Amino acid sequence: MTQREPNSDRPGAGGGDDLDAPGHGEEHVAVRPAQAGELPAIRRLIGLYPDELVQDELPRISSFFVAESNGSIIGCCALQVYSRRLAEVRSLAIHPDFRGKGLAAQLVDACRRRGIERRVRQLFAVTSEPGFFEGCGFTVHTGWKTAVFANLDPDA
16 part of the interface to ligand COA, by CB under 6 A: no
Q: Is 88 in contact with 79 (CB distance < 8 Å)?
A: yes
Per-residue mark of binding to ligand COA, 67-106 (x: CB under 6 A):
-------------------------xxx----xxxxxxx-
Q: Is 112 in contact with 152 (CB distance < 8 Å)?
A: yes
Contact window for ligand COA (CB under 6 A) among 21-29, 80-88, 128-136, 143-151: 128-136
Beta strand pairing call for 86-94 and 122-126: parallel
139 part of the interface to ligand COA, by CB under 6 A: no
132 part of the interface to ligand COA, by CB under 6 A: yes
CA dist list (Å): 62 to 79, 91, 95: 9, 13, 21
Closest CB to ligand COA among 101 and 114?
Answer: 101
Q: What is the spatial distance between Cα 46 and Cα 100, in angstroms, rounded to a whole number?
A: 17
Q: How many residues bind ligand COA (CB under 6 A)?
A: 20
Q: Is 126 in contact with 145 (CB distance < 8 Å)?
A: yes
135 part of the interface to ligand COA, by CB under 6 A: yes
Q: Which positions touch ligand COA (CB under 6 A)?
A: 49, 52-53, 92-94, 99-105, 125, 127-129, 131-132, 135
